[in-house]
Amino acid sequence: MDKKKTFVEDIERSLYDIKNEDRYSYKANQGLTEDIVRAISKEKNDPDWMLDFRLRSLEVYNNTALPSWGPALDELDMDHIVTYVRPDTTMKGDWKEVPEDIKNTFDRLGIPQAEKESLAGVGAQYDSEVVYHSIKEDLVKQGVVYTDMESALRDYESMVKEYFMQLVTPKDHKFVALHGAVWSGGSFVYVPPGVHVDIPLQSYFRLNSPGAGQFEHTLIIVDKEASLHFIEGCSAPKYNVTNLHAGCVELYVKEGARLRYSTIENWSRNMLNLNTKRALVDKDGLIEWVSGSFGSKISMLYPRSILRGEHARAEFTGVTFAAKGQTLDTGAAVIHAAPYTSSNISTRSISKDGGVVVYRGAIKVAPNAHHSKSSVNCESLMLDDISRSDTLPVMDILNDEVDIGHEAKIGRISDEAIFYLMSRGISEEEAKAMIVRGFVEPIAKELPLEYAVEMNNLVNLELEGTMG
């Protein structure tokens, strides 16, 4: 009997794997010392308070142990990580002025194209600094600020000082302490009260330098009754040495404001992705997270929403896909810190070829947060017997007048469902692909269009030795 073999394809990585020559105007020495931190701060022309902040963070880093839970991080050797690589260009407002190889990289990733078609502003970071930034004129006129963090620290210093690493503090864990010490790059967004940014802004983070770390800081403030959709994309070519990403995202959603924050992370398989994201939501505000985790060797990522005003809401929609050699430990946390707050978490994960996915979630309801609601739904699908999937939800409910629901499903593709589709004339391979596509469909439809297409390409089929 002829044997048909089928599999759900890996992400097509060739596009991301094109490497450029490692050129830079400044590159820190490998490792993490006070001298290196001082050198980065000097290179970046930090104000004194920022240098102090970096040095205090370094001290916290040195005095903090690695997390006692989650994936093993033994291979992380900070002595061999370069924490700062300034590309050999300054930030431009015109793609024509961006060095050609860097521009070509972003062209291949579709950024200038998307900018023309569907974005109101773009930031493009290459290694440690942003090399291109743009924002539509009418947004500037309405007082919207969208720029890189280095410029923000110069031009909006008081606002940065008020918010920077106040929501995520260096003491929270070892890798935010590291971030506080060596951060560079990232985006700063301010949307004034009542302004609705109808078209998304997108920042793209590209790490080209082998053995480097990327520590971009994203700080977004959406003021009262304003709204914004922000998209973040990340990728890197594959190297044989370990790269590190320890970014930090702080989102402030003020009274009655709405923020949708979409991320598609497609790092290469030599990347340790230890990222920290948090949102603070005031009365009647809404944070919507859309998160796709496809790349990296190890990811630890659990965006946290703190609902501190009455009727504040958080929505989290996530999809994680782990293939061979990947451990993607992702999830979401919500803290209900005020009455009448609500949260909704919905995730789908897929593991194949020995990949490991973990959903790690936490819901906390403070004693005063009566009439809060939370609903969690996590589903995972293992495509073979060697892959793994775990669900680790934590609930800490300190008020009785709440409505909390949790649903978790871990499974394989059902043989009965395959039989059913085959009885309708659909081949076994197509049946499996339809089921996998169907599994992620509720999430895929939330992704920005170009990423949804990428997601669907992912679930394509390959037939081998079909006819005997």
Partner 1 sequence: MAEKFLEIRGLHAAIDGKEILKGLDLQVNKGEIHVILGPNGSGKSTLMNLIMGHPKYEITAGSIAFEGEDLTTLKTYERARRGLFLSFQNPEEIPGITVENLLRTAKKSIDGENIKIMAFKKSLEKTMATLKMDESYASRYMNVGFSGGEKKRNEILQMMMINPKLAMLDETDSGLDVDAVQIVSAGVKHFHTKENSCLIITHNTKILEHLKVDHVHILMDGKIIKHGDAALIDEISENGFLHLK
Select the span of 159-167, 174-182, 202-210, 432-440 touching partner 1 (CB under 8 A).
Answer: 432-440
* Closer residue to partner 1, CB minimum distance, 49 or 420: 420
Please tell me whether residue 417 binds partner 1 under the rule CB under 8 A: yes
Tokens of 303: 């965006």
For the chain, the three-class secondary structure string (H helix, E strand, C coil) is CCCCEEEECCCCCCCCCCCCCCCCCEECCECCCHHHHHHHHHHCCCCHHHHHHHHHHHHHHHCCCCCCCCCCCCCCCHHHCECCEECCCCCECCHHHCCHHHHHHHHHCCHHHHHHHHCCEEEEEECCEEEEEEECHHHHHCCCEEEEHHHHHHHCHHHHHHHCCCCCCCCCCHHHHHHHHHCCCCEEEEECCCCECCCCEEEEEECCCCCEEECCEEEEEECCCCEEEEEEEEECCCCCCCEEECCEEEEEECCCCEEEEEEEEECCCCEEEECEEEEEECCCCEEEEEEEECCCCEEEECCEEEECCCCCEEEEEEEEEECCCCEEEEEEEEEECCCCCEEEEEEEEEECCCCEEEEEEEEEECCCCCCEEEEEEEEEEECCCCCEEEEEEEEEECCCCEEEEEEEEEEECCHHHHHHHHCCCCCHHHHHHHHHHHHHHHHHCCCCHHHHHHHHHHCCEEEECCCC
* Closer residue to partner 1, CB minimum distance, 38 or 437: 437
From candidates 423, 465, 467, 468, binder to partner 1 by CB under 8 A: 423
Please tell me whether residue 440 binds partner 1 under the rule CB under 8 A: yes
Q: To the nearest whole angstrom, how small is the minimum distance from the Cβ of residue 459 to partner 1?
A: 11
Please tell me whether residue 420 binds partner 1 under the rule CB under 8 A: yes
From candidates 3, 65, 94, 425, binder to partner 1 by CB under 8 A: 425
Size of the site for partner 1 (CB under 8 A): 25
* Closer residue to partner 1, CB minimum distance, 3 or 96: 3
Tokens of 363: 């819901």
From candidates 42, 419, 453, 460, binder to partner 1 by CB under 8 A: 419
Select the span of 9-17, 142-150, 245-253, 438-446 touching partner 1 (CB under 8 A).
Answer: 438-446
- Enumerate residues 6+ apart whose C-beta is below 8 A from 83: 28, 32, 36, 40, 182, 212, 213, 215
- CB distance 391 to 362 below 8 Å: no
Q: To the nearest whole angstrom, how small is the minimum distance from the Cβ of residue 89 to partner 1?
A: 45
Q: To the nearest whole angstrom, how small is the minimum distance from the Cβ of residue 262 to partner 1?
A: 20
Site string for partner 1, 1-40 (x = CB under 8 A): x---------------------------------------
Q: To the nearest whole angstrom, how small is the minimum distance from the Cβ of residue 414 to partner 1?
A: 7
Please tell me whether residue 437 binds partner 1 under the rule CB under 8 A: yes
Please tell me whether residue 430 binds partner 1 under the rule CB under 8 A: yes
From candidates 55, 78, 434, 461, binder to partner 1 by CB under 8 A: 434
Distance, in Å, from the CA atom of 287 to the CA atom of 70, rounded to the nearest integer, reads: 26
Select the span of 31-39, 149-157, 189-197, 428-436 touching partner 1 (CB under 8 A).
Answer: 428-436
From candidates 279, 376, 378, 435, binder to partner 1 by CB under 8 A: 435
Select the span of 65-73, 94-102, 367-375, 436-444 touching partner 1 (CB under 8 A).
Answer: 436-444
Please tell me whether residue 416 binds partner 1 under the rule CB under 8 A: yes
* Closer residue to partner 1, CB minimum distance, 414 or 457: 414
* Closer residue to partner 1, CB minimum distance, 64 or 427: 427
Strands 187-191 and 298-301: unpaired
Instruction: Work out the number of other CB atoms within 10 angstroms of the CB of residue 309.
Output: 21
* Closer residue to partner 1, CB minimum distance, 193 or 442: 442
From candidates 126, 175, 439, 451, binder to partner 1 by CB under 8 A: 439
* Closer residue to partner 1, CB minimum distance, 17 or 462: 462
* Closer residue to partner 1, CB minimum distance, 136 or 437: 437
Please tell me whether residue 458 binds partner 1 under the rule CB under 8 A: no
Please tell me whether residue 408 binds partner 1 under the rule CB under 8 A: no
Select the span of 162-170, 247-255, 390-398, 409-417 touching partner 1 (CB under 8 A).
Answer: 409-417
The single-letter code of the amino acid at 462 is E
Rule CB under 8 A: which residues touch partner 1?
A: 1, 414-417, 419-428, 430-431, 434-435, 437-442
